[in-house]
Structure 1
């Protein structure tokens, strides 16, 4: 049977959304295509009504899968055609903005011939309508039932604020003690012992390994600790890079294998280490022996903990009998289920649901991930029918194999809203164990039009964070941290398998084994240097429908030829991520990529100048130029990027050109010559986040802050000349509503600036680190009623938080490190200021969790 076609309903919905917008309807009238587009809309509406039923029925009908594939192709092409009208409208808007600008500049942006455009687009619309009519006519033979997508995102549960909650790991205390006992045993006769933990997917092997890894006894017993997620590919060089990064925090992928081996031996030489190799799949004994030899330089008593689903691998790698992780006892599983399905204590009000839940838990066979997934699926649902649907679902009838947890996750996935499914599938472009940062991921979703909101006033970045929270609540994500304005997380390895299955041929990670790239592939990612592989390049040239090209883990192209290929072949790209590249010139043809929403050139150390044609990318939402250390200046017409929302940059300029008022996030990184931001800030009045890092020439920010009345996040670091307290008495007051404030590496900071008081009602997170001359926090600190996280690091002269009574009612997390006098005053129970912060749910003193 052909692979299932997914997301057809969602794509149809996005096309209809664009057709129905007021701006688009006005454009139709201008260009004389209203009649054809109205017929297209009617056909699309009728087809959409049966798509959910069609997507479900296709598993029993290969012909139906083919039909859905044909529809999807037409829908994507329709999106591209409709997008061209939008591009033209934006181009005209820029021309009107220029007013009395020089004739030369106006000519650059006014190059489109209205008559030619009208004729060309009328032909394209007719062609799309005819194709859709032809494919849609076949729906009659399948006997569909119209259905609507009544699933919705549930956001009732409060998201976890800190690192993994130990209370989430239920029933593994004895397992942890057993493993720790093995690790501490000096009498096993091995210079380096390997302890294998084996069990089916979803049992909690990784969670158990984390408990062991962070146990105080283990921390004190070993000189070095390393954590490496191995997953499917057991490639020696990649493993060496990961181990070294875990030890040194440095990515040394630039070294060859011989150099990496030397570096590893130097780091391990004579030291007693503890290494976790998580999620091992390799059954090639030769590869394991090769790695093991390189690890023999550690001291006697070094230990390696291996987690795997395979008993064969456990026996091959272990120096002791495998530790077989069993399923949780039923009562532990039921407790875990209730924890995820109900708010605390609410289960007592719904004994009928608990009874059904008990039957569901029995079917989970002791697998914690299955229990949590179904508990979260039923969270906030109080109708018995929803619970009975899960208990009696057909997925329980599937063959119970080693990977059976996937069928449980599939059930949770099936209940997602259609638009959330597509965002989830996009995660398959990233390798297993990839550490996601929401601020990096959400622009990819946004660029591909995957974010949907019933509220037009809601920013897409906020919608993206809601999607991430929802995926976490469904147990698809782990290692989740919410630090206020961004989330950090990983995708569970089994959820990654599900994402791969869901994405099917739409998303593809490129490697040397690729022999063919399907024309149905829309999104590509490179995780190694296969962009140089001739076979891969030939396959790539045959594909014309690409919308996303990503490079990650330091593998960006080093030649202009690959970039030329992208710009000449893939005219409908929405995302072009060339980060970590090292080519010298960005072709001027970049200006023809009018559908581009995201362009990432960050960490290119050779590029010195950008073509002014980049300013013709009116659809561009995200532009990353951070760590382009040789970039001389930005194009003068950068303000004509009228949809730009996210902009990060490194430049040698003293003053920045003005940007568009569409800007929401601005990051200035390593701009050592930068002296002033006034010209930029005067027009960026809608800015929500400003990060200024390593801008040594910047003396003052205050003249610019008065323009930023929408600012929510301000992060300033390593600006040695910056004086944040310089403000005259006659300076006009300006409203501020900061939620997050961070100061790092500011030697000029002696006292906290008074202008922060203006955010007393809104400030939720305050982080101050490496401010050696900061002596005290102000008395008005007590007014920060919304502050829920306070961190103070390496401020040795800081001796007190507040002389008076300090009561921060919202405080959840309090962290102090390398502040000796403060540490003394906040010692649990005995410190004179302990009572001021004792109500916080999490307290860390010098990197140790106290509470």
Structure 2
């Protein structure tokens, strides 16, 4: 029987809501104080023993059943508390309107106070009785109270590129062997296939990245392409990935025949290098079908395949497999020390290094195991923590050669409980999925997974802390910090662990699925599942479904029936993802989904108007209307969405209605008619992120910036009429807290606007891309003392960094490309501007890493 997980975390969240001052006040208003107080007491007593129960259930199936029953009651209790919160927000809307109260009450006509009070009193009594009944059984399990004393570890420095050679230890010899083969003469085959074989976690992908990014390989091949194949060898998906890797375009809209033609056209007569990473398919017919499509390349083309299977290597390779071995002990120890200590600090803790030496031997040269345990022990200086890892029983489970899941499990077990649930949510997505923090955090937020003892901490900041913690524990890879947004993937073994920890809570469904457990709370779909009526019937068995999510861009529901089913059948949804849909009308009954936190309608190609009933969703935190290019106007009552924090929009309107003061993140894209933002922005005084893309009619930001005193990130792209210089008149009104500023595709930008000086003490990242008429940087650039990253791309008229002395003490990353004059002045040692940037640790000139 599968273990029940996250019960402690759900109880902690529920208890936190019950004891909050706002909820205590609501109890008095609605006359349910007595029952909720008893519910709180029972919940508090049960929570105390839940950690012990979750651990002991491995040896007691009755405990697993008991925990499952508790979880169902907890989730139902959350739904009840949610209704109280929503009613409180609706009352707030009524009160804020003053003379319009009667009109607003009609808007919320379903909320009769007397009926609501009676209904909710009954629901609370029912929940309390159910919890009392289940909780009474805890006595027979003899459980001990325990607290969750696992804390978030201290974060380490984040990386900024897909592969840092300095982070890969012990693979120089392997890299040289493979590069030498790639550079050598053809082996008589039209295309050479080099298979790299090794167990999971050994570093096959890291080695392939080293080869892929080697300067000799870059110069030798006309075309490079990276594709992660993973579990499913589906030809169309592979073609889409290849074309995206080559052209940077997502062509999921094409059928398989069109994709084949497009791929052949791109490869025709060119010497290419293709990496097929993490191949599992043993069907030779599928491989031959793909191989035949690649034959149009020039002689000397090469394919590098990474796989765990010698059978696959033999089937695909045109040469003997390159068998990757484990690291030597000294290499493993060096890697462990790199992850367990800050540089040089290991000399102060020789006792810990001795214990670490024994731990490393048990890792058998597997880098992922070494890094995972090193990161687990990072910042821990108590010898008992190290002995706990060295002598842990998990080593007894690690009997199968190369099976390091138990090592990762140990690191997972040491996570705080709230982080475990967020990590398990990653199982919701397919292997090799590219995560974006803006999207992931809003899913976590919508499901109430973000917790902090600091009530004033923004949920987006909590989410970023969680991601930093997962990175520090070595569960994330391919991590790129883009400033306000981070992108990453997770290792396939970490994905397996997430699947194991999520158990029945999360499920990826497809058209072939026949049965869905009633205990499934979150589902995602990766194909045209929504067209299958049987799937919808199966889903309806899960009466309390919380999430319906699409993870394949370009595929969405085309029929209104799917949407109607979601709205009518799944009334407890927190997340409803209808992206890439093509229905014309969103049903007005959407307003009944009062638990909904996130609604994604992005890239709908047909919808013209939204029902005003959408503004009844008082709990809505994120609304995505980006790419809805036929949307004529936004609902007039959008200001009633009092909890809306994230808003992405495309519309044909000339001006936008006022938004709630709760808004933190705003993305305006492809709003070609937009002329003014004054009405929308004058109440958005808490906005932190503003991105304006492809809004060709917008002329000025001057009237709105004075409202945005908390703005931290501003990005402007392809707004050709926007005058950034006329903002100079009254600089006292401009934001002073900007951390990130990006100007992209702005041909009208000739000089940098002086208002940037107002953020001289806070600005950390400055990106200027495709501004062909920018001629010079201002002298005040030297005042940006906090600037960590400066990126300048495609600014051919820019001739120098600064006329004066440039000293940016915090500068770490400096990148220039397609700026010929500036590139010459920044050449190492000999360039006139080299001394200004030489202290940066990460320097790229025209894509080549200098240091």
Fold shared by both chains (TM-score > 0.5): yes
Match of 2:276 in 1: 277
Q: Are the counterparts in 1 of residues 709 and 734 from structure 2 also a CA contact under 8 Å?
A: yes
Is residue 748 from structure 1 mapped to residue 765 from structure 2 by the alignment?
no
Give the superposition deviation at 1:483. 2.1
Aligned to 2:311: 312
Q: Which residue of 1 aligns with 2:766?
A: 766
How far 1:703 sits from its partner (Å)? Answer: 1.6
Aligned runs of 1:549-564 on 2, under 5 Å? 549-553=548-552, 554-564=554-564
Show the 5 A alignment for 1:83-482: 83-101=82-100, 103-402=102-401, 404-482=403-481
Aligned to 1:670: 670
2:342 match: secondary structure: coil
- 8 Å Cα contact 2:725/2:753 also seen in 1: yes
Q: Once the 2 structures are TM-superposed, how far is the Cα of residue 283 of structure 1 from its aligned partner?
A: 1.2
Cα deviation, residue 187, structure 1: 3.7
Matched, 1:799 2:799: yes
Give the Cα–Cα distance (whole angstroms) in 2 for the partners of residues 839 and 811 of structure 1.
Answer: 8
CA offsets, 1:557-581, max 9 Å, x none?
A: 0111101000001111101111111
**How far off is 1:513 after superposition?**
2.5
Q: Normalising by structure 1, report the TM-score.
A: 0.99
| CA distance in structure 1 between the partners assigned to 2:361 and 2:728 by the alignment | 69
**Paired residue secondary structure (1:489):** strand
173-182 vs 235-244, greater mean Cα deviation: 235-244
Contact 1:702/1:727 (<8 A) preserved: yes
Paired residues, number: 850
Contact 1:714/1:738 (8 A) holds in 2 = yes
**Where does structure 2 lack aligned partners over 5 or more consecutive residues?**
none
Alpha-carbon spacing, 1:382–1:570, altered in 2? closer, same or farther (3 Å):
same
Please state how far the C-alpha of 1:217 moved relative to its aligned partner: 1.0
Give the superposition deviation at 1:403. 5.1
Match of 2:524 in 1: 525
Deviation readout 1:466-486 (Å, 9 max, x if unpaired): 100110111100010112211
Say whether the 8 Å CA contact 1:361–1:371 is kept in structure 2.
yes
Q: Shift of residue 402 of structure 1?
A: 4.7
Q: Does the 8 A contact of 2:731 with 2:755 survive in 1?
A: no
Q: CA deviation at 1:249?
A: 1.6
Say yes or no: does 1:45 pair with 2:7. no
| Larger mean Cα displacement after TM superposition, 334-343 or 731-740 | 731-740
Change (3 A) 1:85 1:519: same
Aligned to 2:512: 513
Deviation, 1:735, is 4.7
Contact 1:94 1:109 in 2 (8 A): no
Cα distance in 2 for residues equivalent to 1:492 and 1:225:
22
Work out whether 1:840 is the aligned partner of 2:837: no
Tell me the CA shift for residue 616 of structure 1. Answer: 0.5
The alpha-carbon distance between structure 1 residues 774 and 201, as it changes in their structure 2 partners (threshold 3 A), is: same
C-alpha change, 1:781 and 1:213, in structure 2 (3 Å) is same
For residues 187 and 584 of structure 1, the distance between their equivalents in structure 2, rounded to whole angstroms, comes to 56
1:573: which partner in 2?
A: 573
Distance verdict in 2 for CA 1:251–1:411, change over 3 Å: same
Check conservation: 1:526, 1:555, Cα contact below 8 A. Answer: no
Q: Is the 1:92–1:110 Cα contact (8 Å) retained in structure 2?
A: no
> 1:105, CA displacement in angstroms?
3.9
Give a deviation string over 1:320-345, Cα, whole Å, max 9, x none: 11111000000000000001001111
Cα-to-partner distance string for 1:754-783 (whole Å, 9 max, x where unaligned): 111000000000001111221111100000
Preserved contact between residue 240 and residue 261 of structure 1 (Cα < 8 Å): yes
User: Aligned partners of 1:420, 1:164: CA distance in 2, in Å?
Assistant: 26
- Alpha-carbon distance between aligned partners in 1 of 2:785 and 2:72, rounded to the nearest angstrom: 53
1:19 and 1:102 mapped to 2: Cα distance?
A: 30
Q: Which moved more, 1:744-753 or 1:593-602?
A: 744-753
Shift of 1:272: 1.3
**Matched residue, 2:649:** 649
Kept after mapping to 2: 8 A contact 1:40/1:129: yes
2:590 corresponds to 1:590 = yes
Q: Please show how residues 476-495 of structure 1 align to structure 2 within 5 Å.
A: 476-495=475-494
Q: Does 1:19 align with 2:27?
A: no
- Stretch deviating more after TM superposition (529-538 or 619-628): 529-538
Specify the alignment match of 1:68 in structure 2: 67
Separation of aligned partners in 2, 1:733 and 1:372: 49
More displaced stretch, 97-106 vs 266-275: 97-106
* Cα deviation code 1:46-81 (max 9, x no counterpart): 111111111111111111111111111111111101
Equivalent residue number for residue 683 of structure 2: 683
How far does the alpha carbon of each residue in 1:2-53 deviate from its partner, in whole angstroms, 9 at most, with x for none? 1010000000001100000011011111111111111111111111111111
Q: Secondary structure at the match of 2:229?
A: strand
Q: Secondary structure at the match of 1:312?
A: helix
Whole-Å separation in 1 of the counterparts to 2:666 and 2:268: 44
Contact 2:739/2:765 (<8 A) preserved: yes
Q: For the residues of structure 2 that align with 1:400 and 1:264, how far apart are their CA atoms?
A: 45
CA-CA distance at 1:255 after TM superposition: 1.8
Question: In the alignment, is the contact (CA less than 8 A) between 2:154 and 2:379 conserved in 1?
Answer: no
Match of 1:542 in 2: 541
8 A Cα contact 1:736 1:759, kept in partner: yes
Q: Spell out, residue by residue over 1:233-261, the C-alpha distance to the aligned partner (whole angstroms, 9 max, x if none).
A: 11111112111221122222222222222
8 A contact 2:705–2:733 mirrored in 1: no
> How far is the alpha carbon of 1:111 from its aligned partner?
3.2
- Equivalent pair of 1:327/1:366 in contact (CA under 8 Å): yes
Q: Tell which deviates more after alignment, 492-501 or 179-188.
A: 179-188
Residue 536 of structure 1: how far off its partner (Å): 1.2
Query: 2:398 touches 2:404 (CA, 8 Å); kept in 1?
Result: no
Residue 155 of structure 1: CA displacement?
2.6
Distance, in Å, in 2 between the alignment partners of 1:239 and 1:483 is 27
CA deviations on 1:133-158 (whole Å, 9 max, x unpaired) are: 11111111111111110001113423
Counterpart secondary structure, 1:714:
strand
CA distance in 2, matches of 1:810, 1:586: 50
Contact 2:661/2:683 (8 A) holds in 1: yes
Q: Secondary structure at the match of 2:99?
A: coil
Asked if 1 retains the 8 angstrom alpha-carbon contact of 2:825 and 2:833, the reply is: yes
The answer (yes or no) to whether the contact 1:624–1:647 under 8 Å persists in 2 is: yes
Displacement, 1:420?
A: 0.3
The corresponding residue for 2:706 is: 706
Residue range with higher mean Cα deviation, 669-678 or 178-187? 178-187
Aligned to 1:599: 599
Aligned to 2:621: 621
How many Å separate the matches in 1 of 2:831 and 2:702? 38
Taking the aligned partners of 2:99 and 2:186, their CA distance within structure 1 comes to: 85
Work out the CA distance in 2 between the residues paired with 1:685 and 1:512: 46
Distance in 2 (alpha carbons) for counterparts of 1:248 and 1:807: 38
Any idea what the Cα deviations from partners look like across 1:523-552, whole Å, max 9, x if unmatched? Answer: 111111121123212212222111111112
Pick which of 690-699 and 525-534 moved more.
525-534
- 1:399 is displaced (CA, Å) by 4.4
CA distance in 1, matches of 2:356, 2:598: 45
Paired with 1:231 and 1:339, the residues of 2 have a C-alpha distance of 29
2:825 corresponds to 1:825: yes
Counterpart CA distance in 2 for 1:616 and 1:431 is: 34
Equivalents in 2 of 1:354, 1:708: separation in Å? 51
- Hey, what's the Cα distance between the residues in 1 that align with 2:261 and 2:711? 48
Q: Deviations over 1:618-664 (max 9, x none)?
A: 11111111110000000111100011011010011111111001111
| SS of alignment partner, residue 540 of structure 2 | helix
Q: Compared with structure 1, are the counterparts of its residues 102 and 151 closer, same or farther at alpha carbon in structure 2 (3 Å cutoff)?
A: closer
The answer to whether the 8 Å contact 2:163/2:209 transfers is no
Q: Tell me the SS of whatever aligns to 1:307.
A: strand
Aligned counterparts of 1:84 and 1:102: Cα–Cα separation in 2 = 21
SS at match of 2:808: coil
